[in-house]
Chain A
């Protein structure tokens, strides 16, 4: 291995560590929400600081690689892609933190299962988690087809969340004393939708790295 290859390999290992941390944050935020588990919520909040540290370290490492080794071709695309992937992972971690904060700060000790059901929160978080995990596998295996398949999963999330206003509205009509709770869950649905968007962005960067194709702002090319 050349020196640059060693540096890029270390960069990918570090990225995988950050990725695993964010995956665990999303999993734990799901457990926190569905079971109203304040301990799981605290775990997500604790991990946030570690994600921030990884973000700054990875940016610095990418900067150093570009400055010292002048990578070109796929090495350059990988370094640039990792910068963007880190940004998106950090945002996903932030949204998981937002969900955990809701549970952590809530004066209640449980959430109405009916609200969870109509909001499809479990289904949405499971989809977001699958997108995040598939994206990691796609990069590990340099599989652009797998990366592209993530766009379809995001479409599913978008389809469900498009109905959010209606089903939250209907719930408020049915349970008028739970307006606060319902609005918080509406907020959470929007966070999950954004998680999906960021997973989409990650998938675009993987395709850019593997195939040197830019899919950003080009929906037709995603097929």
Chain B
């Protein structure tokens, strides 16, 4: 069973067609990397799965987008519930101006979960899953802004995990981080896929090679090639893919 899938998706920003006939399936407990040059539609495609493109004016979508076999663009879909199922981490760490504890607890509180024990348990679990617990367990009530960039990003991951999503979308999660923090995030992704399905947009092809099971190469709104990462990086089928991953263009 594919966890998430698109069938013949076209997306327009006004007259501009940003995605052209994209069909792709992503299986459960896998990491799929989306690569391609700037402006090729990777982030637009990523935002399909939690309907973040709804927040942009003049967006039109054709085709079908499935999350766990449900077409999420049909009438009657509860977008708030969808966004609990599909978490997201952005390029720039964006902790709330709150304590470390309250950052992670926020998602629970806005969904009406205020039981002290449940909140505490969930915060601890999420911080452990995000490999941050040992660095913050003695300062949970300090401001999140006191953390380093890498720690803030892991806090954002913990915040996304606290509401128990089954899918996590990551839009260049390590591009603003130093190499050590990047390595920690990558190891974390490797651990998280045991419990979650992850889709990651990255400009860093070496990162795509290191962390993902499958890779989709996008170019000017089209999905040029999709396959196992090991095949894409050792013997890509399309010449365009080969040219991109070897740095000959893009």
Tell me the A residues contacting B by CB distance below 8 Å.
Answer: 2-4, 63-64, 67-70
Contacts and interface: CB of A to CB of B under 8 A. Distances in A.
Given A3-B187, A69-B210, 19 more contacts: A2-B183, A2-B187, A3-B186, A3-B190, A3-B210, A4-B210, A63-B234, A64-B230, A64-B234, A67-B230, A67-B233, A68-B209, A68-B210, A68-B229, A68-B230, A68-B233, A69-B209, A70-B206, A70-B210
Nearest to A3: B190
How big is chain B's contact interface, by range?
10 to 19
24 contacts: A2-B183, A2-B187, A3-B186, A3-B187, A3-B190, A3-B210, A4-B210, A63-B234, A64-B230, A64-B234, A67-B209, A67-B230, A67-B233, A67-B234, A68-B209, A68-B210, A68-B229, A68-B230, A68-B233, A69-B209, A69-B210, A70-B206, A70-B209, A70-B210
Interface in B200-215: 206, 209-210
Interface in B165-206: 183, 186-187, 190, 206
Most buried by A among B187, B190, B210: B210
Contacts of B206: 70
Contacts of B183: 2
A184 B121 CA distance: 76
A4 B187 CA distance: 10
Interface in B223-238: 229-230, 233-234
A48 to B, nearest CB: 27
Nearest to B245: A67
Contacts of A63: 234
A214 B183 CA distance: 31
Nearest to B190: A3
Nearest to A63: B234
